[in-house]
Amino acid sequence: MAVKIFSGRATTYLAEKIANAYGEPLGEVNYQQFSDGEMSPFITESVRGHEVFIIQSTFPPSDHLMELLLMVDAAKRASASSINVVIPYFGYARQDRKDKPRVAIAAKLIANLISAAGANRIMACDLHADQIQGFFDIPVDHLDGSYIFVPYLKSLGLSDIMFASPDVGGIKRARSFAKFFDAELAVCDKYRKEANKIESMRLIGEVEGKDVVLVDDLIDTAGTICKAAVLLKEKGAKSVRAVCTHPVLSGKAYENIENSVLEELAVSDTIPLKQQASKIKVLSVSTLYAKAIRKIHDNESISSLFIKL
């Protein structure tokens, strides 16, 4: 059973690198677009009996999600043996619970839609919350961005490295890095009255004279990460940098980062940068995904792709 890799238009830049690392050409998909915006993807080669991998992040606009669902349906109706949906960035993941009355749990809704379309397996990276894996009734391979960030941080040779979470919700992620590097952990405890607006922030931990690395899964407006960096510097940190898997970077994020006290921000290419920035360094997850695809195709464990944090 041969592997065929396809990509939606949102993630072609990354899918090409993944296919190249895997050693197979990226499959061809044509798109018909009606004047009202309705789209119709068309897989131009046979996938009958093949193991299909469809790569598409679901960051806004919602057309990217709809395009993914249509591609899955097309592959199913073309008699693909199995359909593996590779979602480098799972959009709507922040809506993973009912935290106030009369709100949607969007992450669960998206999981239902992808399953209903005909996907047999999901591959994602650094979901906003681990429990999202349970929203799917099909296997989920949850890859970890530490695969690319740990080697990079090692290469910097920071003598007094320390890790910090920009909020309480990210403690587990930051603690994993701290444990691997045998380093200390700090937490920036923030309070919000509404989304994207921080009311106050305080530091838990001692950072005097440390090279602090803030760890997060995604950065949106960069308000939290930049405010946390200022707080860490005020408390005596020698340097502050950050690692983040998903560079959503909306609004004034690029301006905020460039004007911040951050030494640098290391991100992955699950989402393409909208513009270049001197403080942002992009590390690719293409090799990670290519190795995962090969192991899934060969029915092997993917545990070797996780750095033991």
Active site residues: 190
* Amino acid found at 14: L
CA separation for the pair 167, 189 (Å, rounded): 5
Annotated binding-site members: 36-38, 94-95, 128, 167, 192, 216, 220-224
Residue 144 token pair? 């970890």
Chain Cα centroid distance, residue 20: 20
Amino acid at 48: R
Q: Which long-range contacts (CB under 8 A, 24 or more apart) does 271-276 make?
A: 271/57, 271/59, 271/88, 271/89, 271/246, 271/247, 272/13, 272/14, 273/247, 273/249, 274/249
Q: 1-22 burial by CB neighbour count: b if 16+ within 10 A, else e?
A: eebbbbbbebbbebbbbbbebb
Q: Which residues are annotated as a binding site for D-ribose 5-phosphate?
A: 192, 216, 220-224
Return the residue matching tokens 């004047």.
35
In angstroms, the CA 65 to CA 4 distance is: 20
Cα–Cα distance, 172 to 198 (Å, whole number): 21
SS3 51: strand
